[in-house]
Chain A
């Protein structure tokens, strides 16, 4: 009985630690590179700073291209970029006060989407390996003899 009380106390402390770390990390957001959402909401605040984004290619115009990140479109000054095949674009940029960005580095992640197809099959393999060894009984996982 005493052992289970100690166990419950330790587990509760772990949950508290998990929550505290999560909250502290969230509050430290300002020390990290701004997201596309944050930048586009207040471009002048982040003007001159470097940032990195990855997203899908929308279209290319003379001297620039458009990148979609988290359903927001960002204009990046960089000439003659072609759309990557089945993949995203990574950019390292300098942020501008007008809500656009100037590319410092651009990389096309060609055929990167195929990785997710592979990972889908990997998840099936994981389920097979895992449930070959374990089964759910009531609310716990027990050995699958």
Chain B
């Protein structure tokens, strides 16, 4: 799966495209799917409960991309609709980016629609650097385009 810098850059690019003021919310959403599922990294140091590792995968799925932002939005003293949409946007972008990775969990969990997964199966996990270059390039081009448009409109 892409590294977190790639996820942040994609979130920031989306914030620029949709003129979202609160970039912190998009970036939060962009990392949120990994905050729970990354407990599987702890298994490198000590044995983790099989059940816990299994259930953590659910929180990295589109269905939770609709529910988790709704659970988090009330924490913010801000327009709840904007908060929810912004965090959910980042969450779904993360899943979209991960769907390009070929990983041993097979991709994006389609629960509860099915017990299957979805993946474009393009990159191996160690090829995260390709996604990093692509996301950095995309973010830079979005920023440049916005700058050019704002310069033209002000002149």
Binding site for B on A (CB under 8 A): 7, 11, 14-15, 17-18, 21-22, 24-26, 28-29, 31-32, 35, 37-38, 52-54, 56, 69-72, 87, 90, 92, 107, 109-112, 115-116, 118-119, 121-123, 125-126, 129-134, 137, 139-143
Chain A residues positioned under 8 Å from B148 (CB to CB): none
Number of contact residues on B: which range applies? 35 or more
B49 to A, closest residue via Cβ: A37
Binding site for A on B (CB under 8 A): 3-5, 7-8, 22-25, 27-28, 31, 41, 43-44, 46-48, 50-51, 53-55, 58, 63-64, 67-68, 70-71, 74-78, 103-106, 111-112, 115, 124-126, 128, 132
A7 to B, closest residue via Cβ: B74
Can you give 24 A-B contacts (C-beta < 8 A)? A17-B67, A18-B68, A18-B71, A21-B111, A22-B58, A26-B51, A26-B55, A28-B111, A52-B104, A52-B106, A54-B103, A87-B126, A109-B126, A115-B3, A118-B132, A119-B4, A122-B5, A122-B31, A125-B8, A126-B8, A126-B27, A133-B24, A142-B77, A143-B78
Chain B residues positioned under 8 Å from A121 (CB to CB): 5
Q: Which of A22, A115, A131, A143 is the one whose CB lies under 8 Å from B126?
A: A115
CB distance from A4 to the nearest CB of B (A): 11
Chain A residues positioned under 8 Å from B3 (CB to CB): 115, 118-119, 122
CB distance from A20 to the nearest CB of B (A): 10
Chain A residues positioned under 8 Å from B55 (CB to CB): 22, 25-26
Chain A residues positioned under 8 Å from B43 (CB to CB): 69-71
CB distance from A29 to the nearest CB of B (A): 6
Chain B residues positioned under 8 Å from A90 (CB to CB): 103-104, 124-125
Chain B residues positioned under 8 Å from A125 (CB to CB): 5, 8
A28 touches B115 (CB 8 A): yes
A35 touches B50 (CB 8 A): yes
A8 to B, closest residue via Cβ: B74
B125 touches A25 (CB 8 A): no
A129 touches B24 (CB 8 A): yes
Chain A residues positioned under 8 Å from B112 (CB to CB): 21, 24-25
B1 to A, closest residue via Cβ: A115
A122 touches B4 (CB 8 A): yes
B76 touches A35 (CB 8 A): no
Tell me, in angstroms, the Cα distance from A11 to B132 when the chains sit together. Answer: 37
A117 to B, closest residue via Cβ: B3
Q: Which of B68, B104, B132 is the one whose CB lies under 8 Å from A54?
A: B104
Chain B residues positioned under 8 Å from A87 (CB to CB): 126
Tell me, in angstroms, the Cα distance from A28 to B115 when the chains sit together. Answer: 8
B126 touches A14 (CB 8 A): no
B50 touches A38 (CB 8 A): yes
Q: Which 9 A-B pairs have the closest CB atoms?
A: A122-B4, A119-B4, A133-B24, A130-B24, A71-B47, A112-B126, A37-B50, A52-B104, A70-B43
